[in-house]
Amino acid sequence: MRHSPYQSLENRFRRLFALRDAEAFLTWDLAAMMPPGGADSRAEQLAQLRAVQHNLLTAPDMGELIETADGGALTPDEAANLREMRVQWRRATALPEDMVTELSRANSACETAWRTARPASDFAAILPHLERVLARIREKAKVLSQALYLAPYDALLDAYEPGGRAADIDAVFDDLVAFLPGFLDEVLAHQAVEPAVIRPQGPFAVETQRQVGLGFMEQLGFDFERGRLDISLHPFCGGSHEDVRITTRYNEDDFTSSLMGVLHETGHALYEQGLPRKWRDQPAGDARGMSVHESQSLMIEMQVCRSAPFLRHAAPILAEAFGGEGPAWNADNLVRLFTRVKPGFIRVDADEVTYPAHVILRYRLEKAMVEGTMEASDLPTAWNEGMQTLLGITPPDDRRGCLQDVHWYDGAWGYFPTYTLGAMTAAQLFAAAKRADAAIEPGIARGDFAPLLNWLRANVHGKGSLLTTRDLLTEATGRPLDAAPFKAHLRARYLT
């Protein structure tokens, strides 16, 4: 049977997405299950698989198929799918196959080295690997810049935040840098007159922490028929729409870090599980960029699960699970514990007020490295100076400094600003959801997240990439991204 150009494209992307899913599971296995001896063969497997995907996307007739399909009779959703196909094709055709393969190998080798360098706080051991990754990232940025008519950093950013530009981010981040220090001082002064936080004392058995996390995942709406929870050095969400894998890490002295890691990754997973199944193997069925993705994880972790209504619901559950007694397990104390603001070294453990500073630092550093105004060897010093400037603290070692995140060592450059853009998006979406459905907040207070999840399914998850980021947010909230709801949320939570 002869297919139309558009149908032919759908068939090709269906195959491409199957290969992409296979790559995702190999990557998950590398982080969560693979023995160290498999690193070299896994790097080659991933490199070859990425090369096959690249060749499929850059087949000689792809451009003609896209142009011909664009002149056909398409539904609005098909037109949106074709738009996203064109974006992926344009990016792929800009990059030679050997560049994709070599970058994949460099990323895999660097990520493997990071897994041992981080706990040893050994930046010198990973520096040669990082330098190779950075050299190839610069090459990639230069090639994409010329093909897409974007600045080199913007060409990388656009892959994670479609339409995002550094000039716009600079303006938003400069505004936050001007706002946050004074606001942080106000919050710390406000906290100083509150009752002291009492930290529950462990040890907290890993299996108990796991069961607690699984229980809250179920309450939030995670579908265990299409996903699972595991352990990795750095928490993440991976897999496919139909088999979502999330991970966390455990500390027997502190259950809070793992719990919030699980809740954060569950936010990502709910988004993946809620993407439109009709378009599951097409670009239109993908998540709408990383700022929207991060908004879903930060909404669940920060907006919802650090709120007083949720923590009052969670307090007796936590106390029973861990055998906790006394004032440390009092709901009001847990509210203060989970909303405690204190500058710290670790991004994934940071509170809402200081978290943007962590992201702004990484954004500025990665932009400087991509643009060539800073080298990889300068990273530890520049990192420590930036932490001192933005948060008034200096990491005592690189494990708690520039080695803490996997992103650069795994080749994810241009990604970091989406975390804070996501926090802003989360505040705006959550405010709109509460305005739209008065049942959301009472539901959270009793552990019923269906009203919120239903709103997200209708207004965010189910849209996939059928809309642009700006249009999705405007339809859901009535306006494009605005820092005001984020600032209003911070003031309401931490100064009242």
The pair of structure tokens assigned to 48 is 């070859």
Q: What is the structure's pLDDT at 2?
A: 61
Residue 324: which H helix or E strand, with range?
Answer: none
Which tokens sit at 461? 């998850």
Residue range 321-333: mean pLDDT, rounded: 96
Asked if residues 458 and 432 have their Cβ atoms less than 8 Å apart, the reply is no
Give the E-state strand segments of 241-310 in sequence order.
243-248
- Average pLDDT of the segment spanning 144-171: 94
203-248 residue pLDDT tens? 999 999 999 999 999 999 999 999 999 999 878 999 999 999 999 9
Range of lowest pLDDT (15-19, 233-237, 324-328): 233-237
Spatial strand order in the sheet of 227-231: 227-231, 243-248, 237-240
Q: How far apart are CA 280 and CA 125, in angstroms?
A: 41
Q: What is the pLDDT of residues 89-99, one digit of tens each?
A: 999 899 888 99
Q: Report the percent of the chain where pLDDT is more than 90.
A: 92
CA distances for 183 relative to 6, 82, 176, 346, 425, angstroms: 53, 45, 10, 20, 20
The single residue listed with the structure tokens 């990502």 is: 268
Q: Which amino acid is at 287?
A: A
DSSP element (H, E) containing 227: strand 227-231
What one-character-per-residue DSSP string does 374-387 give?
Answer: S-GGGHHHHHHHHH
pTM of the model: 0.89
- Residue-level pLDDT at 275: 97
In this structure, which amino acid lies at residue 409?
Y
Calpha distance 200→206 (Å, rounded) = 15
CA 107 to chain centre: 18
Torsion of the alpha carbons at 384, 388, 390 and 395, rounded to the nearest 10 = 50
Confidence at residue 97, expressed as pLDDT on a 0 to 100 scale: 84
- The 8 Å CB, 24+ separation contacts for 158-161 are 158/91, 158/414, 159/91, 159/414, 160/289, 160/290, 160/412, 160/414, 160/415, 160/418, 161/289, 161/290, 161/291, 161/414, 161/417, 161/418, 161/421, 161/469
Q: What confidence tens digit (pLDDT) does each residue in 257-300 have?
A: 899 999 999 999 999 999 999 999 999 999 999 999 999 999 99
Res. 170: pLDDT tops 60: yes
- Give the active site residue among 23, 265, 272, 301: 265
For the chain, list the domains and their CATH numbers: 5-150 (no CATH), 168-196+274-494 (1.10.1370.30)
Mean pLDDT of the region 44-49 = 92
Mean pLDDT of the region 37-52: 92
Mean pLDDT for all residues in the chain: 95
pLDDT of residue 496: 86
436-488: pLDDT as tens digits: 999 999 999 999 999 999 999 999 999 999 999 999 999 999 999 988 999 99
Residue 472: CB atoms within 10 A of its CB come to 21
Percentage of residues in the chain having pLDDT higher than 70: 100
366 is catalytic: no
Distance CA 108, CA 30 (A): 9
Write down the pLDDT at residue 1: 52
- Amino acid 345 reads F
